Amino acid sequence: MTQKSATLIGFIAVVLWALLALFTVGTYPVPPFQLNAMCFSIGGLIGLGWIGWTKSWADLKAVPLSVYGFGTLGLFGYHFLYFSALRAAPPAEAGLIAYLWPLLIVLFSGLLPGERLRKLHIFGAMVSFAGASLIVAAGAQFERASLFGYGLALACAFTWSGYSVMSRRLGDIPTASVAIFCLATAVFSATAHAFLETTAWPTAPIGWLSILALGLGPVGAAFYVWDIGVKRGNIQLLGTASYAAPLLSTLALIAAGVVEPRLSLIAAALLIAAGAGLAAYASRQTDK
């Protein structure tokens, strides 16, 4: 596989993740842990099918248990917080705050050995923060439930960015391991659901279709193609492309009629994407 091919495969994840908020809205009233369990079961089965087809079962034995634990915690924590945020706050606003993770990845990566945090990183952070603030200030229903949802979305952004940055320290992990991350996340989610939630099933066919779409795409195939992209493709290009996800996610919600095309919402999406883009540009600059 060439670097160009791997990069193009990685781009698929960005497009799929842009549909995460839209599909999640369609799964109401399924509670977060139950939704996690259902979607990751589908995502894990995708991985098992791929492993069986490529006969790469042996790759799973080479992965330490600590890595399996780390990957499971990252996927489980991020999606529980994400699904919970979209239940507790307006979906477009919560989704945009959650999509601060590309910017946070850039900022946190500057703290790693051999990396440097530049002034443009800080400026980009301020621009994206202004976009997130605009969501709360202009979109806002200042109700306790919505503010709690915004907090969950922010925690979601920190969870995925922390997971992504720390993953760089784990070495080259075979893509087959993602299937185990997904299945373990499904098991933990099902256990938590049994103790903490009341089971609720979709009330219309669109709900079942949304769950299937999540499991096949944003909470399934996306993790596998992203893993291929970041390991074999152009990571700089993939990182920059991920900054388009907040804008694409908002446009998808507007196109589906889930949210109104408010000027403040579009402006917030553009600010978050622009700030992250500035940070990405700073990361590509070499020291003078």
Q: Return the pLDDT at 237.
A: 66
The tokens describing 232, both together, are: 């074999």
Q: Return the pLDDT at 283.
A: 66
C-alpha dist (Å) from residue 33 to 45, 77, 129, 186, 191:
18, 10, 29, 9, 9
- Cα–Cα dist 125/104, whole Å: 8
Q: For 18, how many CA atoms within 13 A lie in the half-sphere containing its CB? A: 22
pLDDT, averaged per 10 consecutive residues of the chain (288 residues), comes to 84 89 90 94 94 87 89 90 86 82 78 73 80 66 72 92 78 84 95 93 94 94 86 70 76 84 81 80 62
Q: Return the pLDDT at 138.
A: 61
SS (H, E, C) 87-109: HHCCHHHHHHHHCCHHHHHHHHH
Q: For 168, how many CA atoms within 13 A lie in the half-sphere containing its CB? A: 17
pTM over cut 0.95: no
Helix, strand or coil for residue 124?
Answer: helix
Helix, strand or coil for residue 65?
Answer: helix
Q: Return the pLDDT at 142.
A: 47
Alpha helices (H) in 99-204, listed in sequence order:
101-109, 119-138, 144-167, 177-196
Other Cβ atoms within 10 Å of 5 Cβ, number: 13
Token pair 């993790």 is found at 223
Radius of gyration of the chain (CA): 18
Q: Return the pLDDT at 108.
A: 81
Q: Return the pLDDT at 29.
A: 92
